A = this chain, B = another copy of it.
């Protein structure tokens, strides 16, 4: 095995040229004969009985395919963790923009006009948007108590620690807002239906086998009669994890009724209004510290707003809970976490998956503790960081030889932390409208699913060699801009010992590729990448064992050997199936054990200028230092970190979802503001050398950079202004109020 010829080097993005030249076909670029366009009629109000649906004149209704709940071929549910969510509201709507009816016409403009002419008579029912009101049960919108899921963690004696003499107890409540994924390409799907061959959908998605499972449940057909193909996908960030199942199902039932292929493409407004976002959260943190800054105990109450249906909220809650205590040594820890039902559109998967919310609360809180104890915030963290052999809050013993001091020290050095902090203090004391600040966060993020999750998935990757010595890699993992195709090519090239241009990554298509699990949870490189390497290496092993190829045979020798092997056996393929690392055990019931096979560790530092006159915050500089194993493609990994930092800065100070009566009022890029290149500071990314020298592949890095920016930026704002902002997004409107209260 030519280990290391590609892994660790910045191979060029394999689909990059097709992207920049416009050759790549996204779903909206695909045209099928006879194809028509589907649109969705949605509820304008949050909770109501559907009294009647009528069709006003203005379009040729006879030309239009109409699908309601009665037209579904199987159960009217979105198959996910629970089955509480209908594909089309039947009799009652539970959130704004919930789908009610589907229409299709050959002319998209006609379908859109028809949608406006469907008249809904809705009788409003009480709705609830406020988390506290939902918890109190002022209005019950789900089950008997609006409680989707609750977890508890308990270790040591938190109450006793809080009562110890001389300890500093501090409590705070920290809020985070919803966040829109704002992938550049909105949701879209084309479906075909044929009685003989079944359902075929192709579209913008992260998880082909999730869509496959949802269609299987709806159409009640044998698995081979459901085919899901990923089209080129313009970003996901989690937003294309669960929602594509709905749009695929909608397009497919329209196609079945119309007898023609149906394309459904959401425009930006519909996409932002109707699809999932990051869960808003409220976290109350109470801690006990000794006067020298040693952690004694933490009591954390973590709540997320799940919206009107359960969707993935239990899993998001679980991730947020596991990360809530941070990479620190808490002698005593108690966590209670709850996912609550409200009348918002369901919240769902988004990069970080609950962890950014709980990490924000804890890190913001630790900064406030440092201020009160007059300890440098970096030194407060250092004193309490996990060391090899320590236990996490859920009881996982860290066996890896971690050196978190190294991570912290690199960040402090790169940002000139100590000198800048002192200088800004002096300058700010001199007054003037522009104040500067520097702030830090320290955090970790588990890679892949929790232990039991990966065991349950039992992912499979497959490789095939061709007679001309090419290696095809078959997985269900999707290129969504993050680099799967390139990284898998590097890994497979090293595994099979052939040049990267001999590798073909087969585009995900459930008719062709095995189920290697979803493209989520920072698992693609770490978990599936390992399977790809093994399956690629197995091809060469088979040739060597068959004595057709020398151990170090080159690409041409490989091709000759493969041809011979295929002539003899008909094919040369290999399959690798996930098996959990030894000694990793997670107990879902007790919510305890080895949550993840590996963690990435990071210290992020932000530098800001705050204009006291306008309350505008500008991030001037950003340092992102992490340990994430052996980086497969440094350029692309840095890009991932930079993108995540930008998205985290957006969540912290730019992006605010405005709802009115549960409906999004700012669903456009002109009024929901994500940071552009102009708003984004220089982001200085460093990966410290792997803690495990023998590390084969990177730990996941997709989600990691989403956790740290918000607390670092808010800490810098706090430093600059002498205030204690407790919530995000912190737009000028919000900061202005805080500044006015503080500066008078």
Chain A residues with CB under 8 Å of chain B are 28-29, 31-37, 58-60, 62-63, 106-110, 113
Q: In the complex, what residue of chain B is closest to A105 when comparing beta carbons? A: B106
Show 19 A/B contacts (Cβ-Cβ < 8 Å), sorted by A.
A29-B113, A31-B59, A31-B107, A31-B109, A31-B110, A31-B113, A33-B60, A33-B63, A34-B60, A34-B63, A35-B107, A35-B110, A36-B107, A37-B107, A106-B106, A106-B107, A107-B108, A108-B108, A108-B109
Within the complex, the shortest CB–CB distance from A108 to chain B, in Å, comes to 7
Q: How far is the CA of A207 from the CA of B106 in the complex (A)?
A: 33
Q: In the complex, what residue of chain B is closest to A114 when comparing beta carbons? A: B31
Q: How far is the CA of A620 from the CA of B644 in the complex (A)?
A: 44
Q: How far is the CA of A60 from the CA of B33 in the complex (A)?
A: 5
Indicate how many identical chains form the complex.
2
Q: In the complex, what residue of chain B is closest to A113 when comparing beta carbons? A: B31
Supply 11 further A-B pairs (C-beta < 8 A) apart from A31-B109, A33-B60, A36-B107: A29-B113, A31-B58, A31-B60, A31-B113, A34-B60, A34-B63, A35-B107, A106-B107, A107-B108, A108-B108, A108-B109
Within the complex, the shortest CB–CB distance from A251 to chain B, in Å, comes to 15
Q: Cβ of A107: which chain B residues have Cβ within 8 Å of it?
A: 31, 35-37, 106-108
Q: How far is the CA of A109 from the CA of B31 in the complex (A)?
A: 8
Q: How far is the CA of A34 from the CA of B31 in the complex (A)?
A: 20
Q: Cβ of A32: which chain B residues have Cβ within 8 Å of it?
A: 60
Q: Cβ of A108: which chain B residues have Cβ within 8 Å of it?
A: 107-109
Within the complex, the shortest CB–CB distance from A113 to chain B, in Å, comes to 6
Q: How far is the CA of A60 from the CA of B260 in the complex (A)?
A: 14
Q: How far is the CA of A109 from the CA of B36 in the complex (A)?
A: 11
Q: Cβ of A59: which chain B residues have Cβ within 8 Å of it?
A: 31
Within the complex, the shortest CB–CB distance from A112 to chain B, in Å, comes to 10
Q: Cβ of A106: which chain B residues have Cβ within 8 Å of it?
A: 106-107
The 8 lowest CB-CB distance pairs between A and B, nearest first, are: A106-B106, A33-B60, A31-B110, A31-B59, A106-B107, A31-B113, A107-B107, A33-B63
Within the complex, the shortest CB–CB distance from A26 to chain B, in Å, comes to 12
Q: In the complex, what residue of chain B is closest to A107 when comparing beta carbons? A: B106
Within the complex, the shortest CB–CB distance from A231 to chain B, in Å, comes to 15
Q: How far is the CA of A106 from the CA of B37 in the complex (A)?
A: 11
Q: How far is the CA of A37 from the CA of B37 in the complex (A)?
A: 14
Q: How far is the CA of A28 from the CA of B106 in the complex (A)?
A: 16
Q: How far is the CA of A33 from the CA of B61 in the complex (A)?
A: 9
Q: Cβ of A58: which chain B residues have Cβ within 8 Å of it?
A: 31
Within the complex, the shortest CB–CB distance from A261 to chain B, in Å, comes to 11
Q: Cβ of A34: which chain B residues have Cβ within 8 Å of it?
A: 60, 63
Q: In the complex, what residue of chain B is closest to A265 when comparing beta carbons? A: B109
Q: In the complex, what residue of chain B is closest to A29 when comparing beta carbons? A: B113
Within the complex, the shortest CB–CB distance from A538 to chain B, in Å, comes to 39
Within the complex, the shortest CB–CB distance from A298 to chain B, in Å, comes to 52
Q: Cβ of A31: which chain B residues have Cβ within 8 Å of it?
A: 58-60, 107, 109-110, 113
Q: How far is the CA of A37 from the CA of B110 in the complex (A)?
A: 12
Q: Cβ of A110: which chain B residues have Cβ within 8 Å of it?
A: 31, 35
Q: Cβ of A36: which chain B residues have Cβ within 8 Å of it?
A: 107
Within the complex, the shortest CB–CB distance from A380 to chain B, in Å, comes to 49
User: Which of the listed residues A33, A35, A106, A108 has the most CB atoms from chain B within 10 Å of its own CB?
Assistant: A106
Q: Cβ of A28: which chain B residues have Cβ within 8 Å of it?
A: 109
Within the complex, the shortest CB–CB distance from A577 to chain B, in Å, comes to 40
Q: How far is the CA of A346 from the CA of B264 in the complex (A)?
A: 40
Q: In the complex, what residue of chain B is closest to A112 when comparing beta carbons? A: B31
User: Which of the listed residues A32, A62, A109, A110 has the most CB atoms from chain B within 10 Å of its own CB?
Assistant: A109
